Amino acid sequence: MLFLHGNAGNMGFRLPNVALMQQELRANVFIFDFRGYGASEGRPSEHGILQDAQAALLWLHTHPAVVSSAVFVFGRSLGATLAALLASSVGRSQDVHPIAGLVLENCINSVSDAVDAMFPFLAFPELKQRFLGLSWSAAGCLADIRAPILMMAGKADEIIGFHHHLRLFSSAPPSTLFRCYEKGRHNDTWQAPGYWVDFSNFLDACLKSHRSS
């Protein structure tokens, strides 16, 4: 499982989540810090962070201890936006190993949408075009993703709102699964009842489908 974390903090903040993910999903988890995060060198940029994610996925696919056909990508918040872009780049390429499945949790469609939700007094196109460093759009790349998709959303998301997740889901491929959690907030949906059951069932279904194909 390639774990792409959100914007705030670094991978150390996610270790309790990673430990539970290993336990509940019986999966190996690979998490890393993008350039400019934690102890990673460099400065974060739109192109550079996507390159980091692509390099991490390539490393997993070429590692002798990893079953290449069973690599999943998971992203939370802005990390889910990145995960969608990563999966779409895999879907468009004939030279990249496919992924077994994609899990997007509380996915932010774009930084622009996040600004509109969190800082409506700054929601002017001219301001956003000048100052926002990321132009990523999850909705714009979902159609290119060939892997099965699970979208997980907290109904109590206090950062961008549940309606945002419903709108993003409406632009996803018809086969996309959508699961929501009544008390799930933006950063703690993974602690909501039923979350790990849904996650585990999705992984099992993807692997079963792959073995039978």
Catalytic, 69? Answer: no
To 10 degrees, what angle do helices 46-62 and 78-92 make? 60
Catalytic, 200? Answer: no
Read off the tokens for 141.
């790349």
Q: Which of 77, 110, 112, 137 is catalytic?
A: 77
For the chain, the residue count is 213
* 117-136 burial code (b ≥16 CB/10 A, e <16): beeeeeeeeeebeeeeebeb
Q: Which of 5, 61, 165, 186 is catalytic?
A: 186
Catalytic, 77? Answer: yes
Q: Which of 52, 110, 157, 164 is catalytic?
A: 157
Alpha-carbon separation of residue 169 from 102, 118, 136, 143 (angstroms): 14, 20, 17, 12
Residues annotated as part of the active site: 77, 157, 186
